[in-house]
Amino acid sequence: MITESMAVFGLGRWGLTLAQALLDAGLPLVAVSSKRPRAKQELPDRLWPLWTGDTQRLVERARWIFLTVRDDAIELTARRLASLRTDWTGYTFVHSSGAHGRELLEALHRRGAQTGVFHPLNAFPDPLRHPTKVTGTPFGIIADADLQSDLFELAEKLGGRPFAIPAALRSAYHLVAVLVANAPLVLISLGRELLRRSGLEPDVRWEYYAVLLQSALSHATDPEPILYLTGPWTRRDRTTVRQHRDALQGLYPEAVPLYEQLVALAQSLYLAATGQPMGGEI
Ligand SMILES: NC(=O)c1ccc[n+]([C@@H]2O[C@H](COP(=O)([O-])OP(=O)(O)OC[C@H]3O[C@@H](n4cnc5c(N)ncnc54)[C@H](OP(=O)(O)O)[C@@H]3O)[C@@H](O)[C@H]2O)c1
């Protein structure tokens, strides 16, 4: 039940965000902790009184423990915690990785704890300087029925939107999340670098291109965003596409294969969406 005492172990980007969101929502967060004692110095004032450097005390205080450590440290942390007691009945342990299931918490589950996954489908890159709001975050959840309904309630209490991740499709779920969260940033960074390398900057400012990005984003929730492509890719304009390839070859040759693959991908996604080829072959 989400009225039970809670603790956050792992005070990185998501751990800090979650701890503060729990407090904001009036939930009973009683302790925060981290492997690194120095993490205490970086805590926001309101979390200071909740700090404990002693894992034993953490588990004495709380019944719900969020393991918000790095993905590759979840299993080891769970095993270390599991070894503190022979019986974890009455405890709930939750991790927040979208890439892994409950198996990482098996050592605790075997000793009686309830376990689950509570994955925020959002990015929290810098909670101290540029905090991202948790409100509106979709939460992907994997848990047995009882805990699933508690985690749904928790997500709603945080102002989020809960949904169940089909456990067998977890890899595809996480693939889409990582692709959508990161690929646009790679393309944006490439665009900025091309502007610098070409010498267009400072006369042509990056902000001008941001208008195009906003237009693309405005179609993100359309059922078929590929229909909103514009420009030479959609017009059979081989000459312009060749000019782009040549310019890219001079400015950032490593990106030429990516450009060619994007053109090909645009074609195949368009075909899949409409059953028609997009402007023929380029
Ligand atoms: N940040 C996001 O946008 C986001 C979004 C969705 C899901 N998540 C999930 O949230 C979890 C935490 O990610 P994060 O982005 O917050 O990571 P992070 O900022 O890199 O923080 C990682 C945390 O893991 C701890 N840690 C690192 N190595 C450890 C070890 N060997 N043993 C114990 N603790 C260790 C660190 O402890 P110290 O403080 O002691 O250094 C730190 O508290 C991950 O499962 C991630 O997949 C994050």
Shortest-distance atom of ligand 1 to CA 15: 16
Determine the pLDDT at residue 108: 98
Query: What pLDDT is attached to residue 278?
Result: 86
**Residue 223: how many CB atoms within 10 A of its CB?**
7
What superfamily would CATH give domain 6-165?
NAD(P)-binding Rossmann-like Domain (3.40.50.720)
55 within ligand 1 shell (Cβ under 6 A): no
> What does the pLDDT look like over 25-66, one tens digit per residue?
999 999 999 988 888 888 999 999 999 999 999 999 999 999
Task: Quick: pLDDT tens for 234-256.
Answer: 887 989 999 999 999 999 999 99
Whether the per-residue pLDDT at 281 is higher than 70: the answer is no
Q: Quick check: 149 and 74 in contact, CB under 8 A?
A: no
- CATH node for 171-274: 1.10.1040.20
- Could you tell me the residue ranges of all domains in the chain? 6-165, 171-274
Q: What is the pLDDT of residue 31?
A: 97
Residue 71 near ligand 1, beta carbon < 6 Å: yes
Q: Dihedral (C-alpha) 186, 188, 190, 195: value to the nearest 10 degrees?
A: -170
CA-based radius of gyration for the chain:
24
d(CA 176, CA 191): 23
| DSSP bridge partners of 142 | 117
Which one of 36, 68, 141 would you pick to mutate in the ligand 1 pocket, going by the greatest count of ligand atoms within 8 A of its CB? 68
